[in-house]
Structure 1
Amino acid sequence: MTPLLHPCYFGSIAQYAIMSQHPNVIFEAHDNYQKQTYRNRMYIYGANGKQLLNIPVQHQKGKKIQYTDVLISYVENWQKEHWKSLESAYRTSPFFEFYEDELAIIYKDKEERLMNFNLKCHQFLSDNLPLETQIKKSKDFKAYGDDNDFRYLVNAKQRTQGIFLPPYTQVFSSKHGFISNLSVLDLLFNEGPNAISYLERSKIEGK
């Protein structure tokens, strides 16, 4: 069966391991938005260790809102701050310079909806890893529990059991050791063309 995932803000390594190992993937497009997930946050490896980058969104108090309807807030210049953080974290990585021009464009456009922004992030990753995976959006909400349901990977406080990711060299690993399952950008900037083979040999178990 086809794996089911959430489109995320430069999603985790585990999520892209799933995509690299399947010809087709379905993105959930009919769920309600939830806070503190990889829908609007990612973790990178900064000089002080694991670093959170969070996209502010416009909240509607007391109301459930579908992920597709969530609007990004630009009250704060989060794009500038996120880009500065990425530069600071990865300027000395082996492959950052090969991707930075294309990546910088994503942080200049002001996309209105969070899901659309995340789909742009996915397209960047699909082009540069590269992935041959075909993505389709779900036609309706799917019940949880299938072995091919990997939507749990959207949770920032996710389980670690069932996720097997081998170590690779990271910029600040001499200071803080290996940090597993960060944004796949960490893998791309450190491993470059080898990132896709790393993803293909990783093992992720379904829900």
Structure 2
Amino acid sequence: MARFVRHGAVLIEAEENFLKQTYRNRAVILTANGPEALVIPVVKGKTSKQRIKDLELSYDIPWQHVHWQAIVSAYQSSPFFELLQDDFLPFYQKKYRFLLDYNDQLLRVILDLLEINTPVGFTEAFEAIPAGAQNLREAIHPKPQRAEIDPTFTPVCYQQVFNDRFEFIPNLSIIDLIFNCGPESYEILAKSGGIKLTGQ
């Protein structure tokens, strides 16, 4: 998310084939037992290659209820959960058809809460090597060995829930930062990305 602070505009890849085991349909939160991945199930297509903009969410299992209960259990004691939970609850009640639409609407809520005004659009054609743009499609990955090292990014520590059990755990879902830090979240993102804010 710190990259949204750094860049003047962002294009979300809409034309690529869906890649499994990536953050395209998952997030990691911090629970009493440690980091936990919340994976959104998708409808399997007739072929292994499905464009991400055509990928539909599956409701064969009650993942929305399960995910929300996990979030409540993890963050109900955090400083800003009670204030901000209603911004996120609709994403665990409304049944979106497409993963891309779900992600887009959730992203816009998050950007609004963080007061990040970076323009966001979608690609209209797939380019393996995008012209005139920095390719970050594989920069952030759940598997550390596949993630790209960003020399400009150093996570700034902040108070997390369960800090009595765990040392600071970086690179969790953005909701970890938002529920724990509220209005200070933007500043923490900027500092993590090596961005000097005006007046500091």
TM-score higher than 0.5: yes
Given the two structures, how large is their TM-score scaled by the length of structure 2? 0.88
CA radius of gyration, larger in: 2
How many residue pairs end up in the alignment?
Answer: 189
Given the two structures, how large is their TM-score scaled by the length of structure 1? 0.85
Alpha-carbon contact 1:20-1:200 (below 8 Å) kept: yes
2:193 equivalent to 1:203: yes
Q: 2:139 aligns with which of 142, 149, 153?
A: 153
| Residue 49 of structure 1: how far off its partner (Å) | 0.7
2:76 equivalent to 1:88: no
Q: 1:128 aligns with which of 109, 113, 126?
A: 113
- Which whole-Å deviations, capped at 9, do the CAs of 1:42-99 have from their partners, x for residues lacking one? 0000001101101011112543110001110101110001000000000000111111
SS in 1 for 2:184: helix
SS in 2 for 1:186: helix
Name the residue aligned to 1:180: 170
RMSD: 1.8
Q: State how far apart, in whole Å, the 2-side matches of 1:144 and 1:176 are.
A: 40
Paired residue type of 2:164 = S
Name the residue aligned to 2:30: 45
Question: Gaps (5+ residues) in structure 1?
Answer: 1-15
Identity of aligned residues (%): 35
Q: State how far apart, in whole Å, the 2-side matches of 1:47 and 1:192 are.
A: 21
- Which whole-Å deviations, capped at 9, do the CAs of 1:119-176 have from their partners, x for residues lacking one? 1110110111121111111121122488822111352214363242121110012201
Segments ≥4 residues shifted beyond 6 Å: none
Larger relative contact order (C-alpha < 8 A, sep ≥ 6)?
1
Q: State how far apart, in whole Å, the 2-side matches of 1:167 and 1:154 are.
A: 19
Q: State how far apart, in whole Å, the 1-side matches of 2:65 and 2:34 are.
A: 20
Paired residue type of 1:185 = I
Segment of structure 1 superposing worse, 121-130 or 39-48? 121-130
Q: State how far apart, in whole Å, the 2-side matches of 1:69 and 1:147 are.
A: 24
Q: State how far apart, in whole Å, the 2-side matches of 1:41 and 1:35 are.
A: 10
SS in 2 for 1:189: helix
Paired residue type of 1:165 = P
2:98 equivalent to 1:110: no
Q: 1:168 aligns with which of 133, 158, 162?
A: 158
Alpha-carbon contact 2:68-2:92 (below 8 Å) kept: yes
SS in 2 for 1:139: coil
Q: 2:83 aligns with which of 98, 109, 117?
A: 98
SS in 1 for 2:168: coil
Question: Gaps (5+ residues) in structure 2?
Answer: 195-200
Alpha-carbon contact 1:106-1:121 (below 8 Å) kept: yes
